Structure 1
Amino acid sequence: MGTLHSGDADASPLPATLSQRQLYPTNNLLRKSVVDNSLVIVGTQSGDLYAIDRSTGDTIWSKSIRNSIQFITMTPSYVFVTDRQSGLYGFTRTTGERVHNSTREISGSDISFINGHLLIGGEQAIYTIEES
């Protein structure tokens, strides 16, 4: 298989094992996904979150939050997701153990992980959480 080219972006095809797997229920609409060297994190409209091994396509863990997943980011140790109503959730990358659940509404804010800090963009401010 060669590399696919589209404009200025390059993308390699998925291995056949991944392209033929059903990674989440088809009646549960995909909301967001994030990929790094080892994990694919998939969030759905109904609040389901799946951690999938990138090399095998196997589901490592799955969790549910209260509302539709809005944004996802990963750090070396954690997966963070937001929903519009309940705020920020944090899970360990390896087991999916919940390590954080905010009680403050985030109002659909985007999240990113940059230089050891989790950035949460709000309507009036940007908050940071330092990963220890």
Structure 2
Amino acid sequence: MSLDDLYRRVIMDHYQKPRNKGKIEDGSVTVDLNNPTCGDKISVQMRIEDGKIEEAKFLGEGCSISLASASMMTEAVKGLSVDEALLLVERFSQMMQGEDIDTEEFPLEDIEALQGVTKFPARIKCATLAWKALEKGAKESTNNR
């Protein structure tokens, strides 16, 4: 099995069995974004307490890359401080721009499967939509402290 096949399987697993899909009912930061070029829509919610993301969920509709990326992102940020989450957004953005990421220093786990999206520039917006929502929500929460 090639690395591309493995990555495809990871993406399809997150798409078919999304983690953290749903709604946070109380005290959450909510950011709704859409990608008009392909019709992806995402709503990311986070419950942030004492500068830490205690819970992250998403709802949305769109392509497999967009929804798998949201699933991976919500898994990755739970338990992180807002600053750590923003650093993760920065690293993910660098990866989507084709830059090398030191996975020893900064492990991306399942998220690394999205690296192949860089070969398809039109799909990068799909992969980054949930991350942009996370970034916006995290920055809003920081400004409201």
The normalised TM-score by structure 2 is 0.28
In our comparison, the structure showing a higher alpha carbon Rg is 1
Q: Which has the higher contact order (CA 8 A, sep 6+)?
A: 2
The normalised TM-score by structure 1 is 0.30
Larger helix share, 1 or 2: 2
Larger strand share, 1 or 2: 1
